[in-house]
Amino acid sequence: MRPLALTALGLATPLGCGKAATAVNLFSGSVAGLTERRDLLFDRAVTVGVVDAVLPSARPVESDCRNNRLMQLVLDEIAEPIAQAVQRYGSDRIAVVLGTSTSGIAEGGAAVERHRHTGVWPEGFSYRQQELGGLARHAAAYLGVTGPAYTVATACSSSAKAFASARRLIRAGVADAAVVGGADTLCRLTLNGFNAIEALSPTRCNPFSRNRDGITIGEGAAAFLLEPGDGPVRLLGIGETSDAYHASAPAPDGAGAAAAMRQALADAGLSPDDIGYVNLHGTGTVLNDAMESHAMASVFGRLVPASSTKAMTGHMLGSAGACEAAFLWLTLSPVYNPERRLPPHLWDGMSMPDLPTLNLVAIGDRLPPGGRMAVLSNSFAFAGSNATLVLGQGEVA
């Protein structure tokens, strides 16, 4: 199996737009992207993570939704490397595999509300704006590539699982390279759905605290160019498991989550001792954090540095896996992180009683000096759809 490198990255999250701005805010523990909004929930204000950027318009009209515009923004950041890949491989040999859970449902909800009150659909509204498959379809058309293009939708593990799908296409010889990632944007349907099951925190989430009281929702997008060869950051391993324990609650013992981590390590040919940092799923809900603490303790013990970045961004849902993989990419990058800092874990410092204690990263903590390093990220979704990614430093071109 030829090694696969993540040779280019574009991203936009509540921590900023672009690699440089995001890195500064990520390693300093910024919460500037979290804000209170009063237009999302029916009954109260709520804290959310927002991408503060002017987004490009998307055409044609059936592609014009915030989700596609956000993806277009991050694709623009890596337009030149993708164009070079088209020259190397041909447009028909580049796949597009992206993850989402919201697609353009915000526009769909607004259109339904308009029709309900006026009997008229908004001018320019197209049903196709809210199709789950629209994200990859739009990205492929925007890039002018004609290889396989599809969207993965497995709730909060969607864009992490997109890496596995893209790798399978390359290994099977169906494609030579792939644009892989995901996008999810804020919408009333999602926020009110989580509110209905009493999963939302009224303020900023507090992962792995005894005082945790739910998730904070955010939005974001990330896109990578995945291709054979070496590079500053390589995709080393992937683990996928399916609990099917419950429609929304994770298996309490974390067995499926632990199995995904072990599978990813085995796929990478690594042991737990080879991992220098773990980006936790860490949503801040009572059940997820308890489950993940058991899973982490069973695989890594309590020494590996770990953090949940969701207290800085909110849970970016279907795009979380790709965006948090982007945080790993930045962590490993000698260009954007020459001091080898780690993404900090923001919380109140009150550990969970009767649960394994994790080695949570403080602001200023760093990777150990010397040698190449591997890092890992977890994404766990409703119904136990689990995905773990392992990234590592490669050769600098």
Query: Which of 65, 156, 187, 323 does the annotation list as catalytic?
Result: 156
Average pLDDT over residues 346-352: 96
Is the pLDDT confidence value at 276 over 50? yes
pTM of the predicted protein model: 0.97
Our answer to whether residue 65 is catalytic in this structure is no
Range in 22-26, 41-45, 87-91, 377-381 the model is least confident about: 41-45
What is the number of other CB atoms lying within 10 angstroms of the CB of residue 354?
A: 6
Distance CA 67, CA 89 (A): 28
Our answer to whether residue 281 is catalytic in this structure is yes
Question: What is the count of structural domains for the chain?
Answer: 1
- Band of residue 339 on the pLDDT scale cut at 50, 70, 90: very high
Query: Which of 281, 294, 323, 345 does the annotation list as catalytic?
Result: 281
Q: What are phi and psi of 19, to 5 degrees?
A: -65, -45
Distance CA 63, CA 271 (A): 44
pLDDT confidence of residue 168: 98
What is the number of other CB atoms lying within 10 angstroms of the CB of residue 378?
A: 28
Our answer to whether residue 315 is catalytic in this structure is yes
Is the pLDDT confidence value at 159 over 70? yes
Query: Which of 65, 205, 294, 315 does the annotation list as catalytic?
Result: 315
Rounded to the nearest integer, the mean pLDDT of the chain is 95
Is the pLDDT confidence value at 280 over 50? yes
Q: Which domain holds residue 118?
A: 4-393
Quick: pLDDT tens for 172-186.
999 999 999 999 999
Is the pLDDT confidence value at 396 over 60? no
CATH number, domain containing residue 376: 3.40.47.10
Q: What are phi and psi of 139, to 5 degrees?
A: -60, -45
Beta-sheet pairing, 233-242 with 385-393: antiparallel
pLDDT confidence of residue 397: 40
Quick: pLDDT tens for 78-133.
999 999 999 999 999 999 999 999 999 999 999 999 999 999 999 889 989 999 99
pLDDT confidence of residue 167: 98
Those residues whose C-beta lies under 8 Å from the C-beta of residue 157, and which sit 6 or more positions away, are 99, 321, 379, 380, 381, 385, 386, 387
What is the number of other CB atoms lying within 10 angstroms of the CB of residue 316?
A: 31
